């Protein structure tokens, strides 16, 4: 995971979205920058998080990624070696090569995705919603 920049996480506020990758050709073995999850009040803690992923060609049209695994990782410290995989997206895409993951109870301070494997040369977009 060379190239990860510790301490560069952006804030993801409640009822907001942020791109982790946006129409990027992502090489296997690359992690997105982390986002820090905003905490609003103790009465509604823990808060959920969703991750939407889709694959396209250079023109933005749905494209088959082939065999792939994208890990959703979390940490309480924004440091590359501290992130742990909590879930994976590796199947279950719809006809437009889009997939989704919902984390209903989510406690960690930081989240990122790690593209573990990706067979075909496609463009990857991943959005996190809080």
Q: What is the extent of the structural domain holding 99?
A: 10-129
pLDDT in tens, 46-93: 678 899 999 999 999 999 999 999 999 999 999 999 999 999 999 999
Q: How many domains does the chain have?
A: 1
pTM reported for the whole predicted model: 0.89
**Residue 50: partners with Cβ closer than 8 Å, 6 or more residues away:** 100, 101, 102, 103, 128, 129
Does the bond joining 4 to the residue before it have cis omega, within 30 degrees of 0? no
pLDDT in tens, 104-118: 877 888 999 999 999
What CATH number has the domain bearing residue 50?
2.60.120
Residue 108 included in any domain? yes
Residue 32 DSSP class: P
Residue 116 included in any domain? yes
3-state secondary structure at position 57: coil
pLDDT at 32: 95
């Amino acid at each position: 995971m060379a190239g990860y920049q510790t301490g560069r996480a952006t804030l993801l506020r409640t009822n907001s979205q942020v791109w982790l990758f946006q129409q990027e050709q992502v090489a296997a073995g690359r992690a997105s920058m982390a986002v820090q999850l905003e905490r609003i009040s103790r009465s509604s803690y823990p808060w959920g998080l969703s991750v939407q992923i889709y694959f396209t060609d250079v023109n933005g049209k749905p494209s088959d990624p082939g065999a792939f695994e994208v890990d959703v990782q979390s940490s309480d410290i924004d440091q590359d070696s501290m992130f742990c995989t909590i879930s994976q997206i590796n199947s279950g895409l719809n006809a437009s090569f889009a997939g989704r993951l919902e984390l209903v109870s989510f406690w960690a301070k930081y989240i990122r995705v790690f593209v573990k494997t990706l067979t075909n040369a496609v463009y990857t977009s991943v959005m996190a919603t809080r």
